[in-house]
Amino acid sequence: MILLLGPTGSGKSTLLKTLSVCIEGKQEQSSESEFKELPSTIPTVGTNLSSIALSKKNVVEIREVGGSLGPIWHSYYSEATRIMYVIDASNDYQISSASIQLMEVLRHNEAIPVLVILNKCDVPTKTSLIELKYLLRLEKLIESAQQTVSTVELSCKERNGITDVFKWLRTS
């Protein structure tokens, strides 16, 4: 089971919908025909469980846990084999809290691989991705983490980075 965590509004539900549309990671063939606009979502209250087909024989279960449940994310860690942590790269006001939550996730899951997803990279903001990574202290977090931490820059709208997410899902 893969846990999908991140602050409220970071794009976890949209990521799940995008992954399910881009079946088998063939985004060029399926995503354009499935939806032109991003699907509408509402903040997840509780959890969502989704099955994502990586191939005909390889299906992964992803449990999205709402950002509002941050204080009890730890109760889901025991069933997790991997964690995807989504950060809204366009939300300057959420950077510090996202960083603190990420540190907590890394502190509690020393053996579980983590994928940090910098989402909404297509949205113009006053903070560049380089500044965002610095503010999140990503380099230091990755250096000091006990587990394997990977990062992906993602735009669900433009499908940039989806292939990298699929690669991580297959190899981790």
Dump pLDDT digits (tens) for 153-169.
998 888 889 999 999 99
> How much is the average pLDDT of 111-134?
87
Answer yes or no: is pLDDT of 61 > 70: yes
What are the pLDDT digits (tens) for 7-50?
Answer: 998 999 999 988 888 764 454 444 444 445 666 677 777 888 88
Domain extent, residue 74, equals: 2-171
Give how many domains the chain has, as a whole number. 1
CATH number at residue 55: 3.40.50.300
Q: Tokens 């999205």 map to which residue? A: 64
Label each residue of 101-118 as H, E or C.
HHHHHHHHCCCCCEEEEE
φ, ψ of residue 86 in degrees (nearest 5): -100, 130
- What's the pTM? 0.87
Answer yes or no: is pLDDT of 55 > 90: no
Give the DSSP letter of residue 8: T
Cβ-contact 158, 149 below 8 angstroms: no
